[in-house]
Amino acid sequence: MTWNLIAQSDAYKAQETVLQAPAAGGDIRIALGFPNTYQVGMSNLGLQVVYSILNSLPGVVCERFFLPNARELEWYRQSGRRLFTLESQRPLSDFQIVAFSVAFELDYVHLPQILDLAGLPLFSAQRIPLEGAPLVIAGGAISLLNPEPLADLVDLFCLGEGENFLPAFIERYRAWQKSASRSKLELLQELAALPGAYIPSFWEARYEQGQYVETIPRPGAPANPPQRLHLTPQEYASTCQHSQILTEDTELGFSGLVELSRGCAFNCRFCTVGFSYPKIRWKPLEVVWSAIERLSRVTSKVGLISATAGTYPQLEELCERLIEARLSVAFSSLRVNNLPDILLRALVEGGSKTITLAPEVGSDALRRVANKLFTDAQYLESARRSFEAGMINLRMYSMVGLPGEEREHLQALVDLAADTRRLQVACGRGRGKITLSTGQLIPKPFTPFQWLPLLERSKASKALHFLERGVAKIGGVEFNSESPKLAFVQALLARGDRRLGQVLASIYGDPSFRAWQQAAKGVGIDLERELYTPRPLSESHFPWLHLAPAGSLERLEREESLYRRSVEALKAE
């Protein structure tokens, strides 16, 4: 079975086109992983950016690892082999540092699974005194929100954007490595002084009657709350993050990813992007184009990463260049009311047949609750322009569970799907299809909805079944939805405290829904209160509030007040 694992590793590498490879030697070896399969992880630009930064630092060798898929897991079990990296096939335990780039809450459960496969103790408290155990660090999108469910598993978090943190971290680590004293506790004390460093073991969560109350620094810990790092607009504009390794064996195919912006100027109240970053920052056209030109030597497919690509200041010239270069382009997010003709033309001339537009809901008034400031009429106009430009299929992203939602709003979403299908036929695209994809609102940390409860599973199921039955009556429209049980787990991980580390450690081998429920209750988590109880605006007992947000809490409170007014206006209609 070991041979199968090595053969699979070689097969992954054989399909890769590598623009930057690890150095041949160095004094610091880092295993960098994504807590999901190779196909998912290699579709994540954040992982590739960190990989590029680390391998550009003198004396640093960074190699990749991923969660084995089901077949590979069986091979590991049968062979007894420890989890190893892709590049050198060395076990993770041979590396000084094991780093995770974590993008999604649902991947939290894979961290203890990976540590177990690597033969490493799951909890930081067990590893810190263990001589020779790697330092386990983590960063990524989740560090902008609530990393507390992983607090007992991870030695150090990089909070926020890591471009400046990583060189400083390596410098501090190298100095410790050369010192006479090699206590890992002393290393963590040194690292705690770095801007952006969060050492969870230096902080203590306090509970009263089984409920989380606050997280406070332990004696000797930094008195100030850890700050999330963000690049200045000038720092951000000076370089362009893009794919360093391309492979067909990903969710995105053989596409080169290029970042256009970070942050968002549109404060959709359910979305973390507009509240997790400072003011939106754009990459200059020439910086972006330099990255595209480098990628175009090995691929004709380019994916541009931005929360609001349609408002890119130099969009027209960028699209004209893409068209002239005959590149196939995809955008990570398109806004209904920011869809210029030149963008549609670049998509269609690049070969795109499907476009994704998110109505979110089927009611103008309910949409205003989420601060989505466009109408059904504007949505249909954007759909019409898309079909006339050459798009054949359209995906509609939507959600259930917004405050103030009633049955009439669900019916309005069904009606909007039917109107979109009629428009598709009228534009001569009747052979295409409409897909209505529906999820559930997850009240995320550091958003104006953080005080909201999750919609109960029974109500969410009824709402989704209503939509499914309604869509079934429309020819040419497909429906798919997220399981309310999955939404339950995501909300629990998004909003939970560090007791969830014990939950993760106990259920990763069998993460069934019942196991989640039983394990959460077993550590004293009141699921009814944590997920389904509204919180007053004065509520301060959130596990993430000891970590300073990107913006002010006053801004969140102001937006929370505005959405409540929108709900009252909705009820009055």
Per-residue pLDDT, averaged over 407-418, amounts to: 97
pLDDT, position 563: 77
Q: Which residues of 494-525 are buried (b: 16+ CB within 10 A; e: fewer)?
A: bbbbbbbbbbbbbbbeebeeeebbebbeeeeb
Q: Do domains 2-205 and 230-345 have the same CATH topology?
A: no
pLDDT above 90 covers a percentage of the chain that reads 80
Query: What's the CATH class of domain 353-573?
Result: alpha beta
% of the chain beyond a pLDDT of 70: 99
Distance between CA atoms of residues 486 and 477, nearest Å: 24
Q: Which long-range contacts (CB under 8 A, 24 or more apart) does 485-488 make?
A: 485/457, 485/513, 486/106, 487/439, 487/440, 487/442, 487/454, 487/457, 487/460, 488/454, 488/457, 488/513, 488/516, 488/531
Predicted model pTM: 0.94
Per-residue pLDDT tens digits for 449-467? 999 999 999 999 999 999 9
Q: Is the pLDDT of residue 227 over 90?
A: no
Lowest mean pLDDT among 98-102, 250-254, 299-303, 466-470: 250-254
Report pLDDT for 22.
77
Q: How confident is the model at residue 1 (pLDDT cuts 50, 70, 90)?
A: low
CB 207 within 8 A of CB 213: yes
The DSSP code for 52 is H
Question: According to DSSP H, which parts of 244-403 are helical?
Answer: 273-276, 285-296, 315-324, 341-349, 364-369, 376-389
For the segment(s) 230-345, the CATH number from 1.10.287.990, 3.30.750.210, 3.90.1170.50, 1.10.4080.10 is 3.30.750.210
Residue-level pLDDT at 252 = 78
The residue-averaged pLDDT of 296-308 equals 94
What topology does CATH give the domain 2-205?
Answer: Rossmann fold (3.40.50)
- Report the distance separating Cα 293 and Cα 19, nearest Å: 13
Element (H, E) at 246: strand 245-246
> Is the predicted pLDDT of residue 396 greater than 80, yes or no?
yes
Q: pLDDT digit string (tens) for 480-522?
A: 999 999 999 999 999 999 999 999 999 999 999 999 999 999 9
Helices (H), 80-164: 110-117, 124-127
The pLDDT assigned to 251 comes to 78
Domains of the chain, by residue range, sit at 2-205, 230-345, 353-573
The tokens of 525 are what? 């988590």
